[in-house]
Amino acid sequence: MAHRWGMVVDLDRCTGCEACVTACHAENNIPTVGPQEAANGRAMHWMRVERYWEGEYPDAKVKFRPVLCQQCDNAPCEAVCPTYAAHQTDEGLNAQVYNRCIGTRYCANACSYNVRFFNFFNPQWEKPLHLQLNPDVSVREVGVMEKCTFCVQRIKTGKRTAATENRELKDGDIQPACAQACPSGAIIFGDLNDHESRAARLAHSPRGTKLLEDLGAEPKVTYLQRQPWNESDA
C-alpha cells in the first residue's frame, strides 16, 4: 500500500525551545535574511513556533504551537497554482516544484496557515557558511515559493536504505529534521496508512485536533493537547 505521510505534534510536550526551527533551517538550506528584512516580513521559517498568551499578567500562561505545512489532503494552495508547481504527490505530500514556479504567490495567499514562503531576493550565505549547505536539498533562487517538504530527501533516503538492506520500511526509519531535533519528543512523524505506526495511533488520540479544521483543508498534521473539558479520556 502507498505511504501517506503524516505528523503528530504534542503540544503538551512542546517547550517552545525552537530546536525544530533551527534544525529545519540547517537541513533544508533555508537562508536567513537578517534583522532588517526579517522585520520587513521576508523571514522564511518552514517551521515556526507560534506563541499565544492566555490570561492577564501575572496569571498569564504562554502556549506554544509549532506550525509547519499541514500537508493538506484538500490543499487550497494546489488548486490555485496556474502551473502545477504546487501539487499533491502519490504519498500525500504537498510538493513544490521550484523549477515550475513562476512566482504568482497565489498559493501563499490561499494557504490559511501562512506556511508558504517567497524568495524575495536571491539567497546568500556568508562564507564559509556556504560550505555547510545540505547537498541533498536544492537551493532555491529568487522569485519562487518554498515550504516544508516533510524532509522529502530523508523520506527518499529512508526508502532507498530499506531497499538496499532488502527489508520493509519500519516505523521510525524516517525522521524529519524537526522531529529528530525535538528534545522533548513532541514531534512524531510516520505513515498514516500503517495503522501500527506511532503517528497513526496518536493521530486518533482523543487529545488530537487539527489546526483550523473547520476550513476543510484536511491537514495531515494532528496537534495533541490536554482537553480539560474531556479530562477522563486524556
Partner 1 sequence: MSRTRNNPLADDLLRPLFNTGVWFYLAVAALGTVVLTGLTAWAYQMWHGMGVAGVNWPVFWGFHETNFVFWIGISHAGTLISAILRLVNARWRRPVTRCAEVITVFALMIGAIFPIIHLGKPWLFYWVAPYPSQGSIWPNFRSPLVWDFFAINTYLTGSLLFLMLPMIPDFALVRDRAVGLRKRIYGLLAMGWQGTTQQWNRLEAAMQIMAIAIIPVAVSVHTIVSFDFSMAQVPMWHSTIFGPYFVAGAIFSGIAALILAMTVLRRMLRLHDYLQDIHFDNLAKLLLLMALLWGYFVTAERITVWYGNEPHEMAAFWSTQRGLYSPLFWTMVCCNFVLPLALLPFRRMRIGFGAVVAASGVVVGMWLERFLIIVPSLSNKQLPYTWGGYTPQPVEVIVMASTFAAMALLYTLFAKVVPIISIWEMRVGNQPHPAATAAPEHELPELSKARP
Q: Which is nearer to partner 1, 114 or 227 (CB)?
A: 114
What is the rounded distance in angstroms from the CA atom of residue 40 to the CA atom of residue 8? 32
Instruction: Select from 50-58, 131-139, 153-161, 190-198 the region that touches partner 1 (CB under 8 A).
Output: 50-58
Residue from the set 43, 133, 137, 169 that interacts with partner 1 by CB under 8 A:
43
Other beta carbons within 10 Å of 33 = 19
Residue from the set 5, 46, 117, 223 that interacts with partner 1 by CB under 8 A:
117
Distances (CA, A) of 64 to 14, 16, 43, 206: 7, 6, 19, 20
Kindly state whether residue 23 participates in binding partner 1, applying the rule CB under 8 A. Answer: no
219-231: burial string, b at 16+ Cβ within 10 Å, e else: bbbbbbbeeeeee
Q: Which is nearer to partner 1, 53 or 170 (CB)?
A: 53
Cell of 112: 490559511
Rounded to a whole number of angstroms, the minimum distance from the CB of residue 32 to partner 1 is 14
Residue from the set 12, 34, 62, 82 that interacts with partner 1 by CB under 8 A:
82
Kindly state whether residue 124 participates in binding partner 1, applying the rule CB under 8 A. Answer: no
Other beta carbons within 10 Å of 183 = 10
102-121: burial string, b at 16+ Cβ within 10 Å, e else: eeeebbbebbebebbbbbee
Instruction: Select from 1-9, 106-114, 152-160, 223-231 the region that touches partner 1 (CB under 8 A).
Output: 106-114
Residue from the set 122, 161, 184, 230 that interacts with partner 1 by CB under 8 A:
122
Cell of 130: 556556504
Where in 148-167 is the site for partner 1 (CB under 8 A)? none
Q: Which strand (E) or helix (H) includes residue 79?
A: helix 76-80
Q: Are 157 and 171 in contact (CB under 8 A)?
A: no
Kindly state whether residue 79 participates in binding partner 1, applying the rule CB under 8 A. Answer: yes
Instruction: Select from 6-14, 78-86, 156-164, 185-193 the region that touches partner 1 (CB under 8 A).
Output: 78-86
Give contact residues for partner 1 (rule: CB under 8 A).
37, 40-44, 48, 50-52, 67, 76, 79-84, 100-106, 108-110, 112-114, 117-122, 142-145, 211-212, 215
